[in-house]
Amino acid sequence: MSGKTIFITGASAGFGAACARMFASEDNKLILTARRIDPLLKLQEELSGRCEVQMIPLDVRDREAVQGAIEGLPERFRSIDILVNNAGLALGLEPAHRVDLDDWDTMVDTNIKGLMYCTRFVLPGMVARNSGHIINISSTAGAWPYPGGNVYGGTKAFVTQFSQNLRCDLLGTRVRVSCIQPGMAETEFSKVRFKGNEEAAAGVYQGTEPLTAEDIAETVRWIVSQPPHVNVNTLELMSIDQAWGPFAIHREQK
Ligand code: NDP
Ligand code: 8X3
């Protein structure tokens, strides 16, 4: 896998940064995007000896900014081969009747609408070139319910279903679409979910060996390395320390 142009959303941390490091090799060109500029600049500096890097500060919720970023790419970065739709977040674990509605809006705007915008503006070029690969980062939360998962899980279910529907639209082209559903992975994810509460974030992973960002990057590497006629549709992975619980049953106290 070399000589590719790769566009990564949410490259300032976690899975996105690990994917950038994984893809960084002489012949690849990386377009790294996120809202925070400092970590992007650091990553660009780290990778600059290994490949060409274009860094773009971008909030995926801003439709016009996404369009401008993709359509305004310098000519040599314009033919995107791989789009990693990774930017996303969970906010809070409150039950639906107590949740902050702004948090729901933010998750929908980022995880659903941001991913839609990036896909819509990158796809025409891929279809015209009759090649390309979109990797969408969903979650086990989109397949399996849990208390407080309400809208976060809903956004990730969208990502999974959208990925499969894209395959239907793209049938007859050589454009591939893959969806990854990771379980618990230690990144900045929980710090963001618990709004900076480091203790609560650490508690999520305490006493476990969670997935790492590098595990997800290696999964991406495997998916994009399959022969061009092979489309990995959906891939779910979890830490060995995570599994499903039994159904929850409410019992009245007598
Ligand atoms: P991190 O919090 O470490 O990274 C999230 C990335 O998304 C950051 O680079 C952040 O950059 C970016 N981001 C968030 N909001 C926006 C926005 N509006 N515009 C552009 N970029 C944005 O979390 P992970 O690496 O763990 O998460 C990556 C993806 O994986 C997410 O979609 C998450 O839902 C999913 N996921 C995570 C799991 C986990 O347990 N960690 C498991 C399953 C799925 P910045 O703040 O600079 O904009
Ligand atoms: C992240 C995994 O279980 O915290 O998508 O929702 S989980």
What does the pLDDT look like over 89-148, one tens digit per residue?
A: 999 999 999 999 999 999 999 999 999 999 999 999 999 999 999 999 999 999 999 999
Helix (H) or strand (E) holding 19: helix 14-23
Residue 181 CB less than 6 A away from ligand 2: no
Give, using CA atoms, the residue closest to atom 23 of ligand 1: 189
- 26 pLDDT band, cuts 50/70/90, is confident
Residue 92 CB less than 6 A away from ligand 1: no
62: CB partners within 8 A, 6+ apart: none
What does the pLDDT look like over 41-56, one tens digit per residue?
A: 999 999 999 999 999 9
> Is 250 domain-assigned?
no
Mean pLDDT for all residues in the chain: 98
The DSSP annotation for 188-221 comes to SHHHHHTTT-HHHHHHHHTTS--EEHHHHHHHHH
Residue 189 CB less than 6 A away from ligand 1: yes
What pLDDT is attached to residue 254? 82
Sequence length of the chain is 254
Nearest atom within ligand 2 for CA of residue 204: 4
> Is 252 domain-assigned?
no
What pLDDT is attached to residue 127? 98
The amino acid occupying position 174 is R
189, 235, 238: which to mutate for ligand 1, most atoms within 8 A of CB?
189
Residue 157 CB less than 6 A away from ligand 1: no
Biggest alpha carbon–alpha carbon distance for the chain: 72
86, 89, 139, 204: which to mutate for ligand 2, most atoms within 8 A of CB?
139
What does the pLDDT look like over 142-182, one tens digit per residue?
A: 999 999 999 999 999 999 999 999 999 999 999 999 999 99
The DSSP annotation for 136-188 comes to EE--GGGTS--TT-HHHHHHHHHHHHHHHHHHHHHBTBSEEEEEEEE-SEESS
Give, using CA atoms, the residue closest to atom 5 of ligand 2: 139
Domain that includes residue 144, residue range = 5-237
What pLDDT is attached to residue 2? 86
What does the pLDDT look like over 195-216, one tens digit per residue?
A: 999 999 999 999 999 999 999 9
Give, using CA atoms, the residue closest to atom 31 of ligand 1: 88
Mean pLDDT score, 222-230: 98
> Is 63 domain-assigned?
yes
> Is 254 domain-assigned?
no
> Is 175 domain-assigned?
yes
Task: Among the bound ligands, name the one nearest to the CA of residue 93.
Answer: 2
CB 159 within 8 A of CB 137: yes
How far out from the chain centre does Cα 93 lie? 20
CA of 11 to the centre of ligand 2 (A): 19
CB 201 within 8 A of CB 191: yes
Domain containing 154 — which CATH number?
3.40.50.720
To the question of pTM greater than 0.75 for the whole model, the response is yes
> Is 242 domain-assigned?
no
- Using a pLDDT cut of 70, give the percent of the chain over it: 100
Residue 201 CB less than 6 A away from ligand 2: no
152 classed as catalytic: yes
> Is 193 domain-assigned?
yes
pLDDT at 20 over 80: yes
Paired tokens of 121: 């503006």
What's the domain count of the chain?
A: 1
> Is 251 domain-assigned?
no
Residue 155 CB less than 6 A away from ligand 2: no
